[in-house]
Amino acid sequence: MAPAILSGVLVSEIGLRGGISVCGSLLAQLGATVLYFETPGGKAGVRTQCAAGKLSLLLKEDGHDRALLEAAALRSDVVLTSSDIDPPQFHVKHPASPANIVCDLTATGATGPMRGLGLTELQIQALSGIMDTTGFPDGPPVACSIPITDILAGTYCAAAVLAALRVRRLQGIGQTIDMALLDCAFAALGPFLSSVLTTAQGGKSRLGNRHPTVAPWNLYRSRDGWVLICVGNKGQWERLCALMDRAELSTRFATQAQRMENVSIIDEHIGQWTRQHTTAGCIARLVEAAVPCGPIAPMDSHPREDNLAYRGMIRKTRDNASGEEVFVPGSPLRMSLTPGSAPGAIPAPDQDRRQIERLIPDRPPGGPAPDPARLKPALEGIRIIEIGQYTTAPLCARQLAHLGAEVIKVEQPGGDESRTWVPHLGGRSVSFQLNNADKRSIVLDLRSAQGVATLRQLIGTADALVENMKPGTLAKFGLSPAEILRINPRIVYCAISGFGADSLYARRPAFDMVIQAMSGFMASVSDGPVPLKSGISTADTMGGEMAVVAVLGALEFRDKTGLGQYIDLSMQDICAWLTHSAWNGAQAPSSVGRLMACSDGYLMVSSSAGHLGDPDFGAEMKRLTRAEAAARLTARGLDAVPVLSVRESSLSPQVLHRRLWFTMPDKDAQWPVLSSPIRLTATPARVSRLAPAVNADGDDILSGIASPRTPVRTRQKNARPKAGHP
């Protein structure tokens, strides 16, 4: 059996934020030993699922436990903290040792005018713009009951830790990672930012179940319920029109811009058709026509969906604290040689104290760091081939590019479909630009023998291949996973699809909202009679993020063993995994915050005080601006933050200070660019160039294929760096 990717890596999970526990859980799934330090108050909202498979120690307020914590921080490979909310007994030096990695997840990061504010999950949803994007156009913002910013940030933390471990192994230096919930939340706003950052009107905020740049994309009434339909390209639109026997619509609204301008008319035509059929009948017809669609999966003790059960995402384990069996999600990291470990038992608080007390003194502390001037980007020398459209594979490849990898984007003749998405600037799609910075482009026609032959040559030179085509597409061209690994036994091949290649629905196309629906996510978010998706593309974003984690982990394994592997990532698995806080009948606490209407928008207010429910009090607040109401509430000892629109968030001092977006010039235009939320302080991720034009680098890439690449030399053991080791 292959060794686990992080075998021998010791992680001290000290921080109290839910995102820290998410990060620790992913590292444990990859084989790390995770020490789960707890306080008597516990880690509310995440303990049951995220503690599974970890070693628990309940910290007492005495000298012995303080010394034990300091020793763990000094001797661990990775320390996970959340310094803005951790109590004093949890505080450790950053870094605790020059050779270890300290990942500090805070609400707003270590810099900027809002640094140090211990903001909550709902406050970050409000300040980032996420809350204002969720809900219906004629209704108030909706707070997502799933702690989405914590989970987004925790997953990015895991990617950052893996990148930092690579830097330490190859360059002999540890570093601090400055991660922020606000950074990760803002990065997830991409589809909205394409309009907000380039048009005067700034786009719409709450769209219900519509998409900000693509149509038709909505939830429609059927004869007995609901059916989702998401049309992402011209071919799917033409097939839907033919299925409805309305072929004239495909001509009348031929372009994406025309469909967006007439979305209400189109939705009415589709609704007339769906109401004639049952949900099952609609889906059967739509699947036959290869149009992305789906029903709403219910959520009770876990998401009820056949494919999730088939892929092993519905698991039972023992909660040692209660003695009961509970449902927990399986690992979404479906990797052929090093699959994410199944969740172990959930430890009772302090059950592993003796084991931890024996473990920590046996590990040596790290040595001194080398000269920082010699440091190189985390992924320098790594070549990634991306065959992707829309969001997931392009997002994954972009983050890897920002970490220093060379990314070659292979496009079909005519280019990535998302190049057509509105809005446009200078005749080019802003959405495409935001998701494809720092890449090189080559066009290959895989329907031709020459195109396939060239792709095979590229695969032979690559360290990783990332794609999000329908499962089996590459196999049609003679490039099955087995053949790709035969061509290049060292390659990491990561395939991202809606439901997985090994799936009950392998041939179904799927987009973000279909996955939100069929994973239990929409059932968890909804608080009314109409199911509701999150405003941000949660499934797409999490699919891309998890792919970064999987690829970085598999590269670590490849460097230790020389073996590549195949990764079968399912967006449905990933989206179900992130709903874990709603499993086993858990409910979001009703006392953590509530919305309050003001004359110019909404506030998110802590609702511990009973008078917030007083109608007279609410009427008074409606006459005030958000700033005036917040001042009055603060004077009464309540926390109140404004629910910002995406535009307001993009112009906020904290966002601008952290340069979460900035502009880069190209000919006559200033293009908006998104920074990477992965903040390695010693080897930072960087954005260096705009997205390429179609086939901009084709000739250069083709001429370089014939020149053999020198493989990156890596250490074969994941040992601690020694003093003076380069």
Q: Please report, for the chain, the start and end positions of each structural domain, with discontinuous segments joined by +.
A: 10-191+321-371, 233-291, 590-650
- Would the pLDDT of 89 be above 70? yes
Per-residue pLDDT tens over the stretch 237-294? 999 999 999 999 999 999 988 999 999 999 999 999 999 999 999 999 999 999 999 9
Q: Are 441 and 695 in contact (CB under 8 A)?
A: yes
Beta-ladder partners of 387? 467
Please tell me the predicted confidence (pLDDT) of residue 350.
Answer: 93
Please tell me the predicted confidence (pLDDT) of residue 313.
Answer: 97
Helix (H) or strand (E) holding 473: helix 473-476
Residue 451: HSE in the Cβ half-sphere, 13 Å Cα cutoff: 13
Per-residue pLDDT tens over the stretch 531-560? 999 999 999 999 999 999 999 999 999 999
Per this entry, what is the length of the chain?
Answer: 726
Overall average pLDDT of the 667-681 stretch: 93
Q: How many degrees, rounded to 5, is the angle at CA 572 between CA 570 and CA 573?
A: 65
Return the number of other C-beta atoms located less than 10 Å from residue 709's C-beta. 14
- Would the pLDDT of 49 be above 90? no
Overall average pLDDT of the 312-318 stretch: 95
Nearest-angstrom CA–CA distance, 376 and 245: 58
- Would the pLDDT of 631 be above 70? yes
The string of DSSP letters for 273-294 reads HHTTS-HHHHHHHHHHTT--EE
Of 192-201, 386-395, 685-694, the one with minimum mean pLDDT is: 192-201
Q: Are 382 and 83 in contact (CB under 8 A)?
A: no
Q: Are 407 and 398 in contact (CB under 8 A)?
A: yes
Residue 557 burial (CB < 10 Å; 0-12/13-18/19+)? buried
Overall average pLDDT of the 96-100 stretch: 71
CATH fold of 10-191+321-371 = Rossmann fold (3.40.50)
**Residue for token digits 């592997």?**
565
Task: Tell me if residue 523 falls in helix, strand or coil.
Answer: helix
Nearest-angstrom CA–CA distance, 436 and 329: 32
Please tell me the predicted confidence (pLDDT) of residue 614.
Answer: 63
* Beta carbons within 8 Å of 431's beta carbon, 6+ residues apart: 190, 191, 194, 213, 418, 421, 422, 423
Per-residue pLDDT tens over the stretch 421-453? 888 888 899 999 999 999 999 999 999 999 999
Per-residue pLDDT tens over the stretch 107-122? 999 999 999 999 999 9
Residue 85 burial (CB < 10 Å; 0-12/13-18/19+)? middle
Please tell me the predicted confidence (pLDDT) of residue 280.
Answer: 96
Residue 531 burial (CB < 10 Å; 0-12/13-18/19+)? buried
Q: How many degrees, rounded to 5, is the angle at CA 204 between CA 201 and CA 208?
A: 175
Please tell me the predicted confidence (pLDDT) of residue 634.
Answer: 86
Please tell me the predicted confidence (pLDDT) of residue 370.
Answer: 55
Determine which one of 77, 104, 178, 540 is catalytic.
540
Return the number of other C-beta atoms located less than 10 Å from residue 93's C-beta. 11
**Residue for token digits 């080791």?**
725
Strands 78-81 and 101-106: parallel
Nearest-angstrom CA–CA distance, 613 and 197: 38
Task: Tell me if residue 225 falls in helix, strand or coil.
Answer: coil
Nearest-angstrom CA–CA distance, 48 and 32: 19
Please tell me the predicted confidence (pLDDT) of residue 723.
Answer: 31
**Six-digit token string for 451:** 């195109």
Please tell me the predicted confidence (pLDDT) of residue 721.
Answer: 33
As a whole number of Å, the CA-based R_g of the chain is 25
Q: Are 405 and 379 in contact (CB under 8 A)?
A: yes
Taking the chain, what is the end-to-end CA distance rounded to the nearest angstrom? 32
Residue 188 burial (CB < 10 Å; 0-12/13-18/19+)? buried
The torsion angles phi and psi of 244, rounded to 5 degrees, stand at -80, 0
Overall average pLDDT of the 299-307 stretch: 93
Nearest-angstrom CA–CA distance, 547 and 275: 38
- Would the pLDDT of 561 be above 50? yes
Nearest-angstrom CA–CA distance, 460 and 454: 10
Nearest-angstrom CA–CA distance, 220 and 227: 5
**Six-digit token string for 393:** 């594979």
- Report the share of the chain in percent with pLDDT over 90: 73
Q: Are 227 and 244 in contact (CB under 8 A)?
A: no
Please tell me the predicted confidence (pLDDT) of residue 621.
Answer: 84
Residue 705: HSE in the Cβ half-sphere, 13 Å Cα cutoff: 16
Is residue 540 annotated as part of the catalytic site, yes or no?
A: yes
- Would the pLDDT of 709 be above 70? no
- Would the pLDDT of 567 be above 90? yes
* Beta carbons within 8 Å of 364's beta carbon, 6+ residues apart: 75, 720
Strands 383-387 and 406-411: parallel
Per-residue pLDDT tens over the stretch 456-498? 999 999 999 999 999 999 999 999 999 999 999 999 999 999 9
Amino acid at 364: P
Q: Are 422 and 260 in contact (CB under 8 A)?
A: yes
Q: Are 10 and 37 in contact (CB under 8 A)?
A: no
Q: Are 620 and 611 in contact (CB under 8 A)?
A: no
| Burial annotation 593-605 (CB, 10 A radius, 16+ → b, else e) | bebbbbeebbbbb
Helix axes 449-461, 698-705, angle to 10 degrees: 70
Overall average pLDDT of the 616-644 stretch: 88
**Residue for token digits 């990942």?**
103
- pLDDT category at 707 given cuts 50, 70, 90 is low
- Would the pLDDT of 628 be above 80? yes
- pLDDT category at 200 given cuts 50, 70, 90 is confident
- pLDDT category at 612 given cuts 50, 70, 90 is low
Q: Are 521 and 484 in contact (CB under 8 A)?
A: no
The torsion angles phi and psi of 323, rounded to 5 degrees, stand at 80, 5
- Report the share of the chain in percent with pLDDT over 70: 90
- pLDDT category at 714 given cuts 50, 70, 90 is very low
Please tell me the predicted confidence (pLDDT) of residue 726.
Answer: 25
Nearest-angstrom CA–CA distance, 27 and 621: 46
